[in-house]
Amino acid sequence: MNQDCTIFIIDDDLSLCRALARLLRSTGYQDVRTYSSAEDFITEASPDPCAIMILDLQLPGMSGIELIENLRSAGSSMPIILISAHDEQLARAREMRHEWAAFLHKPFEEGELISVIDSLCAA
């Protein structure tokens, strides 16, 4: 596991953000940053060559899909783990022409998320 890996969590459910941040820190990831909107991420986050994003697709304001399109058009190849409680959102994201690290349907197993992140940070 690469503990130097930065993990960005973007979800408007603040309790989920806090829970995921605690989980990731408890497994050795210390640089975990949470954002409640895509706009907050764009405003506050600085580029990181070793970063992974956990992104809810349904956000207020700019959607998760719009954020992804914004990042990809800016040249970012950051691995993104998509999360959503809405099947139609995940289906729409699958139709896009970008590669994703994983799609996780809420609620998802903690172990599944950790496994995906561990494999991405080891790469």
117 residue type, one letter = I
Identify the pLDDT of residue 50.
83
CA atoms of 107 and 20, how far apart (whole Å): 12
Contacts of 91 (CB under 8 A, 6+ apart): none
pLDDT, tens digit (0-9, with 9 covering 90-100), for 26-47: 999 999 999 999 999 999 987 7
pLDDT, mean of residues 92-115: 81
Contacts of 37 (CB under 8 A, 6+ apart): 10, 12, 59, 60, 61, 62
**Quick check: 116 and 101 in contact, CB under 8 A?**
yes
Q: What percent of the chain has pLDDT over 90?
A: 55
CATH C-level class of 6-117:
alpha beta
Identify the pLDDT of residue 96.
65
Residue among 11, 1, 4, 2 nearest 80 (CA): 11
Q: For residue 9, what are the β-bridge partners?
A: 34, 54
